[in-house]
Amino acid sequence: MRSVLNCFSIITKKMFKSKTLNWLQLFGLKIASIGDQIYENDYTMKTILKVTALALTLSFTACKNDQKKDDNAKTAYAEADEKDVNAIIEYNNVMVGFTDKNNDYIQRIEGNIVKIEKGLQNPNDRFAFIGLIQPFSINTITRNGVKPDTPPSALNNDDQKFFKENVVAMTGLLDKIKETYSALDEYIKAEDWKDDKGNKGKALVDSIYGLGKKYYTHDELVLARLNLIGDDAERVILKTHPLKEYIFALKDDRSATAAFTKLMASNKSYKSIEVKAKTAYQALEDQHHKHEAMAAPDATKYPGKDGYFKNFNQRFNDYLIAARKMMRDAAASGKLTDYNIEELVRHQDSMRSAYNNFVD
C-alpha cells in the first residue's frame, strides 16, 4: 500500500519544545538535519518516507567564543559573532517549527489517504471510508518577529534568497495539498464515486502523492542547508564548553544511525545492499563502543549528566540490536519491509529524546 509518510503511520510526530539557552538568552537551538531524512526511490513509485527531523536543543551556559578557527566548520557562520549567532539560531528554530507544522498536517492526512485509496477499490463496502479523521493545520509560531519567509541579515545574500524562494514554494505546495484534499474529502462525503466509478477520487489521491513529492524536494533542500548553517552556529556556542566532547560524540552517533537507516531504506532488496549494510553496521558498532568507553561526566559538577549519558548509549545499543536482528532476517528472506525501517526510526526517535535529556 502506498502512503505519503509510511514511517509516520507508526511514529507520532512531536513538536520539539523550545528551551532557553542561558547564554544571551538564546532560544533552544534546533538543527534540522538531512541525516535524519529518508527518501525512498525503490520501494514503491508513490511512497515518500520521511523521518522526524533532527532537533538539537541546548540549554547549557556557553562560554564566550574564543575566536579560534574551527577546522571542522563547513561555513563562514562558525566564525560569526554572538549577535549573528543569536539571529541564526532564532531563524533555525522558526524554520524547524515551520517544517514540523507542515509535516504534522501531512501526517494527519496520511492515514486518510491510505484508507480512501483502499476504499475506492470497493466503495460499496459500508466500512470502506469509516474512520477518516478531519485533518487540521496550526499556524507557524514566530519568535521576535522572525518568520520563515524573512531570513535574518546574519545570513549571506545567497542563503537569504535560498530560504525565501523555498519557503514560498513549500507554502504554495502545501496550500495545493490542502485544497486537493478538501476536494477529495467532499468527493467522499457526497459519495460522488457513484457517478464515475471512483475515477476522480483516484486522480485526486494521485495528485496529493505528486504534490507531496514536490513538497519534500524543497523540504530536503531546506533541511540540508539548515544542517550546515545550524551545525556551525552550534559550534560557536560549544567551542569552549566543558561537555562539548560528549555533545559532539552524541551528535556523531545520531548522524551515523540516520545514515544507516537511510541506507537500509534505499532498496527493498536487501541482497543488493548487504555488503554495504554489513560494513556500515560494523562502523556503527565500533563507534558505539568507542563512545560508550568514554568516562561519564562528573556527577558532582554536572548532576544527572552521567545517567543521561549512559541512557543515550543504551538507546544506541537498542538501535544496534534491532539493526542486527533485521539484517539477519533480511539475509534469510532477501528483503526489507516498511516495518523494518519504521523500527529503526523509532529507535532513532528514542535516541533523540535521550540526547535532548542530556543537553537539557
Q: Look at residue 148 and give its three-state secondary structure.
A: coil
- Mean pLDDT computed over 171-187: 96
Q: Give the range among 97-101, 131-135, 194-198, 215-219 with minimum mean pLDDT.
A: 131-135
CB atoms within 10 A of CB 329: 14
The correct CATH number of 1-241 out of 1.20.120.930, 2.20.25.90, 3.30.1340.30, 3.40.50.720 is 1.20.120.930
Mean pLDDT across the chain, nearest whole number?
A: 80
pLDDT at 354: 94
End-to-end CA distance of the chain: 40
**Any idea what the Cα angle at residue 186 is, between residues 103 and 124, rounded to 5°?**
105
d(CA 219, CA 65): 32
pLDDT digits (tens, 9 = 90+) for 304-352: 999 999 999 999 999 999 999 999 999 999 999 989 999 999 999 899 8
pLDDT at 299: 94
pLDDT at 71: 58
Backbone torsions φ then ψ of 132, nearest 5 degrees: -70, 130
Structure-block grid coordinates of residue 175: 496550500
Q: What percent of the chain has pLDDT over 70?
A: 79
Nearest to 186 by CA among 201, 173, 198, 174: 201
Domain boundaries, the chain: 1-241, 242-360
In the numeric block, the cell 478538501 is attached to: 182
More confident residue, 223 or 78: 223
pLDDT at 11: 29
Residues sharing a CB contact under 8 Å with residue 51, sequence separation 6 or more, in sequence order:
7, 36, 37, 38, 258, 261, 345, 348
User: H-type helices in the chain, by residue range?
Assistant: 82-119, 157-189, 193-196, 199-238, 244-264, 274-292, 305-333, 338-359
Side-chain-facing half-sphere of 93: CA atoms under 13 Å? 25
79 class by beta-carbon count within 10 Å (0-12 exposed, 13-18 middle, 19+ buried): middle
d(CA 147, CA 277): 41
Residues sharing a CB contact under 8 Å with residue 240, sequence separation 6 or more, in sequence order:
62, 63, 64, 65, 66
State which fold the 242-360 domain adopts: Methane Monooxygenase Hydroxylase; Chain G, domain 1 (1.20.58)
pLDDT digits (tens, 9 = 90+) for 19-68: 222 222 222 343 444 335 443 333 332 333 343 344 434 433 334 445 55
Nearest to 31 by CA among 232, 227, 237, 250: 227
Nearest to 135 by CA among 193, 173, 174: 174
CB burial of 253-272 (b: ≥16 within 10 Å; e: otherwise) equals bbbbbbebbbbbbbbbebee
Longest dimension (CA), the chain: 73
Assess contact for 49 and 5: CB atoms under 8 A.
yes
pTM here is 0.69
Q: Categorize the per-residue pLDDT at 246 as very low, low, confident or very high, splitting at 50, 70 and 90.
A: very high
pLDDT at 239: 76
More confident residue, 126 or 273: 273
- Mean pLDDT computed over 136-160: 84
pLDDT at 187: 94
Q: Given this chain, do its domains 1-241 and 242-360 carry the same CATH topology? A: no
